[in-house]
Structure 1
Amino acid sequence: MDFEVTGSLMQSYNICKRQVWLMAHQIIPNQEHPYIEMGRLIDDISYDRDRKKLNFENVVIDLVRNDNGNLLVGEVKKSSKAEKSAKMQLLFYLYKLKQNGIVAKGQLFFPEERKKVDVYLTSESEAEVTNAIKDIIDIIHRDKAPSFKKIPYCKNCGYKEFCLS
């Protein structure tokens, strides 16, 4: 089976390795989970003036805007609780853009908190992204999902029925 790493897998990788495997194997989380529905709603109603959902290769960027003549790509999140994972997702997008000859700045948006975080692809963060890609590929090629490990995110996870039963 051939898998491509996506931004969602990169985000999940920084939260739960088991979720990475489940997602990559097309095991769909509970779509009526309140946090999944809330995320969709926030994505739909936030930042209306920007171009939304730019798709290329295995990347779906939430928003794109011109920032004083420079390309700014943004990722919209419900909360900054998982800021590190959101940052890795955005760094993955910046890395993929760079591979295609496009230099951009990133910005994380947390509309409910009225918070923005600038994200730049540096040589250190690029190395972190490439190492994570290799690890994600290793995880998804395993015969079974990594063992369940209870973490604080479990209580709000759409996959919890796959882990807590």
Structure 2
Amino acid sequence: MDLESLKEIRITGLKVNYYYICKRKLWLFSKNLSFEKNNDKIILGQILHENYYKSEKERDILIQELISIDIVDDDYIREVKSSDKMEKADTMQVVYYLYVLKQLGIEKVGLINYPKQKKKKEVHLTKQLEQELLEALKDIEKIVNQPKPPKLEKLPYCKKCSYFEFCFA
């Protein structure tokens, strides 16, 4: 998928992240149904994001109205996450950022910081991850264009999700 296609269907990094967490959450979020402002985990994540790497000059960089990178330096793009419980989703979000940058002729390495666990994970845009991402982007496009949300699936982390009451009430 090229940048114009991505812009047209408005696939953001958060949508890629949600795709790997819950397809129903992705659909609801894409329809502007967001319950995250009242979720304690989201609020804690925002506080962590605001306070981590305060001294960095290149923060919250919006690129092509598609991706918002937490921190950019000479070698890395960095994402700060409060927990590594959704590591696959976090990784694929960074892979997406690296893919968009590649489309712009910029090559970087991703770095995910999990400060609470004192853990860092380096992410490289490999051919295998790029192929997986391209398949996911096609699937994301299908999901967000469906007239109804995907079928409810009870996942181990549903109780902590900001959409829990909406899905299970």
Q: Shift in Å at residue 30 of structure 1?
A: 3.8
Contact 1:39–1:78 (Cα < 8 Å) also in 2 = yes
Aligned match of 1:55: 62
Q: Which amino acid aligns with 1:150?
A: K
The SS at the match of 1:80 is coil
Name the TM-score, length of structure 2 as normaliser: 0.92
Aligned match of 1:91: 95
Aligned match of 1:36: 42
Please show how residues 5-154 of structure 1 align to structure 2 within 5 Å: 5-50=11-56, 51-57=58-64, 58-66=66-74, 71-154=75-158
Name the TM-score, length of structure 1 as normaliser: 0.94
Q: Which amino acid aligns with 2:69?
A: I
Aligned match of 2:3: none
Structure 2 segments unaligned to the other structure (5+ residues)? 1-7
Residue-pair matches, total? 160
Q: Shift in Å at residue 3 of structure 1?
A: 3.0
Greater fraction strand: 1
Contact 1:105–1:119 (Cα < 8 Å) also in 2 = yes
Contact 1:3–1:24 (Cα < 8 Å) also in 2 = no
For 2:9 and 2:164, the matched residues in 1 are separated by 23
Structure 1 segments unaligned to the other structure (5+ residues)? none
For 2:55 and 2:84, the matched residues in 1 are separated by 22
In percent, how many aligned pairs have the same letter?
36
